[in-house]
Amino acid sequence: MGIDLQLIPKVLDPLPGGKGLTNAVDYIVNWARSSSLWPLVYGTSCCAIEMMATGAARHDISRFGAEVFRASPRQADLIILAGTLTEKMSHHLKTLYEQMPEPKYVIAMGACTISGGPFYYDNYSVIKGADRIVPVDVFIPGCPPRPEALLHGILELQKLISGETIRQPRVPRPLNDDPMIDRHSADAAAWKEEDKKIQEELAGKREQWAAENPDFKAYKGERFKNVSGPKMGHTPVERSCTSVADICAAVHDKFPDIPLYNKAEITDEELAELSPQYIPDFVVGQEQYTAFISFLKNHADLNMDLLLQVTAVDWKDHFDVLVHLYSTTGKHKIFVRCSVDYSKENDTPEIDTISHLFSGANWHEREIFDLFGITFTNHPDMRRILLRDDFVGHPLRKDFEDSSRIVKRPY
């Protein structure tokens, strides 16, 4: 049965010497809390490796009373946010935080957690500071911070806990709701103004020094002559695979009107001279898309039986859906490129699915649908796979803008 500590001052303070007894209870409770922190097992990126090192033998976090990492938020009173915090993960973090019993504390470890780090600009998925999601008590800068920095952060948290009182219960810091700004441009302007002042101060000193030392000549080092050595030759690696000419011959026997990308006018002689490292890149129309890929898969000589990748490219006025195939028997690869019309009027571009030909295309196509907004007709499960269902827009489109998530890079 728990004891409501808020009742202690009401009962003891009116008694003679009661305030001193209340202060003693404060000291004992805060000592127990600060010396027995139970962190949650939680790490999202490279800072988590430093957190693990802090718990290992060399640094031994148990010396500071914080070694009992718990797998359940209901048994933890501390979250060490170690690593990049994405928007999709932020909802789960908030749930974990709300499931922790009071009093609970948060340490933000590393630049990514504190501000978004290198992902601050041009990024829709990284939260620009964990304090926008949950209250943060201690910030530990670095990328990533060393274990010693984390231990210092734990000591600072213990100081914070030791300063709490029953009479004035802990109030978590408010969430950060400051608008995201272009910090680089603001700082660059401030640095430029500061440098201008420094240069103005130095200008007079340079003139004075030059007048006092008229015979001074700056040292000019000798430049070494460039020495050219023997040129390194390049020996192409021979691959035992079907030649490009044979692949094109087999394709054009069935589909004579399908050209190679950027090589529509290539001659047979030029085709035969192509390096074995060249991967044929065929351009097909939507009406031939599935039939062509089915042909490549089932052709006896080509036998493109392995799907490596399905992806897309946004050319602003249209999309290209690219399929990367490989033959496990012929050891050759083929690209298939299909243009999909896209415009402001036609905001729902569509193309046929190939998931019935390659089961691996199922989640590749869902990724494209999620990030580019291209719908694959007859797909068995056409829904988002990476982003939440309520996410507005498709972030890999060139025209995607969201000021609540993205700070545009100024340079």
pLDDT at 10: 66
Kindly give the pairing relationship between strand 350-352 and strand 375-377: parallel
Average pLDDT over residues 356-369: 95
Secondary structure class of 320 (helix, strand, coil): strand
Convert the pLDDT of each residue in 160-185 to its tens digit: 888 877 777 778 888 988 888 888 88
pLDDT at 11: 66
pLDDT at 346: 67
Specify whether 153 is located in the same domain as 250.
Answer: no
What predicted TM-score, i.e. pTM, was given to this entire model?
0.72
The terminus-to-terminus CA distance of the chain in angstroms comes to 60
Specify whether 267 is located in the same domain as 150.
Answer: no
Which of 162, 179, 196 corresponds to the end of one domain?
162
pLDDT at 236: 65
Convert the pLDDT of each residue in 81-128 to its tens digit: 999 999 889 889 999 999 999 889 999 999 999 998 889 888 888 999
Domain coverage including residue 367? 244-377
pLDDT at 361: 95
What band does 239 get if pLDDT is binned at 50, 70 and 90? low
Residue 313 is assigned to a structural domain of this protein: yes
Specify whether 151 is located in the same domain as 255.
Answer: no
Average pLDDT over residues 292-315: 94
Q: How many domains does the chain have?
A: 2
Convert the pLDDT of each residue in 248-301 to its tens digit: 889 999 998 999 998 878 888 888 888 778 899 999 999 999 999 999 999 998
Specify whether 275 is located in the same domain as 147.
Answer: no
Residue 97 is assigned to a structural domain of this protein: yes
Specify whether 125 is located in the same domain as 255.
Answer: no
pLDDT at 324: 97
For the chain, the 3-state helix, strand and coil shares in percent, each to the nearest 5, are 35, 15, 50
Convert the pLDDT of each residue in 179-229 to its tens digit: 888 888 888 889 999 999 999 889 888 888 888 888 888 888 777 777 787
Which of 162, 187, 221 corresponds to the end of one domain?
162
Specify whether 146 is located in the same domain as 276.
Answer: no
pLDDT at 221: 78
Distance CA 319, CA 142 (A): 40
- CATH of residue 19's domain is 3.40.50.12280
What band does 308 get if pLDDT is binned at 50, 70 and 90? very high
pLDDT at 382: 93
Specify whether 11 is located in the same domain as 151.
Answer: yes
What band does 9 get if pLDDT is binned at 50, 70 and 90? low
Half-sphere exposure of 146 (CA within 13 A, CB side): 3
- CATH of residue 335's domain is 3.30.460.80
- Closest residue by Cα to residue 2 from 103, 80, 95: 103
Residue 236 is assigned to a structural domain of this protein: no
Which of 162, 178, 212 corresponds to the end of one domain?
162
Residue 306 is assigned to a structural domain of this protein: yes
Contacts of 84 (CB under 8 A, 6+ apart): 44, 45, 112, 113, 117, 119, 126
Average pLDDT, the chain: 87
Cα separation values, 306 from 32, 243, 334, 360, 367, Å: 60, 18, 11, 9, 19
pLDDT at 192: 92
Specify whether 126 is located in the same domain as 264.
Answer: no
Specify whether 251 is located in the same domain as 360.
Answer: yes
Specify whether 366 is located in the same domain as 263.
Answer: yes
Specify whether 283 is located in the same domain as 149.
Answer: no
- 150 pLDDT exceeds 70? yes
Specify whether 346 is located in the same domain as 249.
Answer: yes
pLDDT at 271: 81
pLDDT at 408: 84
pLDDT at 231: 80
What band does 245 get if pLDDT is binned at 50, 70 and 90? confident
What band does 1 get if pLDDT is binned at 50, 70 and 90? very low
Residue 106 is assigned to a structural domain of this protein: yes
Residue 41 is assigned to a structural domain of this protein: yes
In the numeric block, which tokens belong to residue 315?
Answer: 């050319």
In the numeric block, which tokens belong to residue 56?
Answer: 């290992």
Residue 202 is assigned to a structural domain of this protein: no
Residue 387 is assigned to a structural domain of this protein: no
